[in-house]
């Protein structure tokens, strides 16, 4: 939104009005005139000037009173007050109450021009800041979700589209990447927002207990079932049920969940009564469900029922451009919580935050910053982040979240070898020694894992 270039000149002396009108007009502003405070108020209502330049001493209503009244209705207008020598104190008082500046009469033309220019500049800046803030709120933040990266923008879009519907959503992403936060945001922006948001961690309990946790039980359903207990599905009636770690559900529970998704009804454990519920399902997992389907570990039909709208949250290391935003947000938040000044984060520390691989994602970043804010004395520098410096220096080994034991071990082995090769600048003899394996075994593994390029150049020179 651009600022208009209208200026209102208020003075009871014709010669001053004329002079200011001329200065303003030559500087390219659209100038309007008023002869006293009363007229100034009326004109302001009508033309909504960006800047007002007004004498203090005027008949009918003086400049100070007019300024107070105008400021109450139009707090953004920049008001410059003019005063004769004797009344400078009054002008200073007015500035304390929010006037933009004052001029002591008589002022020369250059002085007036500079003050006007500054007033307009200030208005433009203010407007820009307001526009930016608006943009940040709309683009970089949705509810409590932060992130300006392209992938997060896409997440906001999907959340915005899916929130008003009843569609089942499947959120995938590594641990700590924000899946639950997204689920809550969908709920809070949905027509069910006044209903309950119930979370179940599907991996937290053994199968039998999980079943009664989800569907509830009747009195006497099993030893210890002394009364009827509603399950999470019932508790989430007219709200949202968030099934976290849905990949951990055992096959019999997968069948039961499928039925609820299809028919929106179920029976409590040990019961015969069919219970109907109105529940919106949001599921989340850090496992690769598609792969689990291929391996026969997760039902394909359930997978498709869950993934009506898929949302993938990438790991933090893949959206490095969001990191400064997170750092700023968390540093402020934790400083406020600890009643401390917001510490300064050095550019080197910020670089380190961007380079580190964040296996625990946003949750880990938040924890690191909380600790740093508490320990810091005004500045967060690299020396305050010892855990990150060592990890960033030698890339950490990432343990895959999914796969068989064999596959996981292979992945880890590959990274260990690649790292050792790098540390020894590709020298395979030294690498084999460091890892305490034979050179032949190392060559075999380099071949197997396709790590050949890691040491090719140096190879001929060394051997």
Ligand X SMILES: Nc1ncnc2c1ncn2[C@@H]1O[C@H](COP(=O)(O)OP(=O)(O)OP(=O)(O)O)[C@@H](O)[C@H]1O
Which residues would be at the binding site for ligand X (CB under 6 A)? 144-147, 173, 175-181, 244, 286, 362-363, 366
Placement of tokens 């800047």 in the chain: 51
At its nearest, how many Å lie between ligand X and the CB of residue 185? 9
At its nearest, how many Å lie between ligand X and the CB of residue 299? 21
At its nearest, how many Å lie between ligand X and the CB of residue 180? 3
Would you say 16 or 142 has its CB closer to ligand X? 142
At its nearest, how many Å lie between ligand X and the CB of residue 131? 23
Would you say 234 or 364 has its CB closer to ligand X? 364
At its nearest, how many Å lie between ligand X and the CB of residue 8? 45
Bridge partners, 102 (sequence order): 81
| CA neighbor of 234 nearest in space, from 201, 274, 186 | 274
At its nearest, how many Å lie between ligand X and the CB of residue 325? 9
Would you say 181 or 434 has its CB closer to ligand X? 181
Would you say 199 or 229 has its CB closer to ligand X? 199
Would you say 315 or 426 has its CB closer to ligand X? 315
Instruction: Compute the distance between CA of residue 74 and CA of residue 67 in angstroms, rounded to an integer.
Output: 10
Would you say 181 or 352 has its CB closer to ligand X? 181
Instruction: Compute the distance between CA of residue 107 and CA of residue 25 in angstroms, rounded to an integer.
Output: 17
Would you say 180 or 328 has its CB closer to ligand X? 180
Would you say 70 or 362 has its CB closer to ligand X? 362
Strand 280-285 with 145-146, pairing:
unpaired
At its nearest, how many Å lie between ligand X and the CB of residue 311? 11
Closest CB to ligand X: residue number:
178
At its nearest, how many Å lie between ligand X and the CB of residue 213? 17
């Amino acid at each position: 939104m651009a600022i208009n270039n209208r200026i209102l000149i208020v003075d009871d002396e014709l010669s001053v009005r004329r002079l200011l009108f001329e200065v303003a007009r030559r500087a390219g502003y659209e100038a309007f005139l008023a002869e006293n405070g009363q007229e100034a108020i009326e004109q302001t209502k009508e033309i909504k000037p960006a800047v007002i330049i007004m004498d203090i001493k005027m008949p009918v209503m003086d400049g100070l009173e007019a300024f107070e009244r105008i400021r109450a209705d139009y707090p953004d207008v920049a008001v410059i007050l003019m005063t004769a020598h004797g009344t400078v104190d009054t002008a200073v008082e007015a500035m304390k109450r929010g006037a933009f500046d004052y001029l002591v009469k008589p002022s020369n033309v250059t002085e007036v021009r500079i003050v006007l220019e500054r007033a307009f500049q200030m208005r433009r800046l203010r407007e820009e800041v307001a526009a930016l803030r608006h943009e940040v709120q709309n683009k970089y933040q949705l509810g409590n979700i932060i992130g300006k990266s392209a992938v997060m923008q896409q997440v906001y879009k999907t959340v915005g589209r899916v929130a008003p519907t009843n569609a089942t959503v499947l959120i995938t992403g590594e641990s700590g990447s924000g899946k639950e936060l997204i689920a809550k945001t969908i709920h809070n922006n949905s027509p069910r927002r006044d209903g309950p948001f119930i979370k179940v961690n599907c991996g937290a309990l053994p199968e039998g207990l999980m079943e009664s946790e989800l569907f509830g039980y009747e009195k006497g359903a099993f030893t210890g079932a002394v009364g009827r207990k509603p399950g999470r599905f019932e508790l989430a009636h007219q709200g949202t049920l968030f099934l976290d770690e849905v990949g951990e559900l055992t096959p019999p529970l997968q069948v039961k969940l499928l039925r609820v998704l299809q028919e929106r009804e179920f029976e409590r454990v040990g019961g015969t009564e069919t219970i109907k519920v109105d529940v919106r399902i949001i599921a989340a997992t850090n496992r690769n469900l598609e792969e689990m389907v291929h391996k026969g570990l997760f039902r394909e039909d359930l997978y498709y029922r869950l993934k009506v709208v898929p949302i993938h949250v990438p790991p933090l290391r893949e959206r490095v451009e969001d990191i400064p935003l997170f750092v700023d947000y968390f540093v402020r938040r934790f400083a406020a919580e600890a009643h401390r000044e917001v510490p300064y984060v050095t550019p080197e520390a910020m670089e380190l935050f961007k380079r580190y691989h964040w296996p625990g994602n946003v949750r880990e970043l938040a924890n690191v910053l909380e600790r740093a804010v508490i320990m810091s004395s005004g500045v967060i520098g690299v020396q305050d982040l010892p855990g990150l410096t060592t990890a960033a220096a030698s890339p950490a080994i990432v343990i895959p979240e999914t796969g068989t034991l064999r596959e996981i071990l292979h992945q880890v082995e590959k990274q260990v070898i690649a790292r050792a090769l790098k540390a020894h600048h590709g020298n395979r003899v030294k690498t084999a020694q460091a890892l305490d394996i034979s050179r032949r075994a190392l060559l075999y593994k380099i071949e197997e894992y396709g790590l050949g390029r890691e040491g090719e150049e140096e190879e001929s020179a060394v051997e």
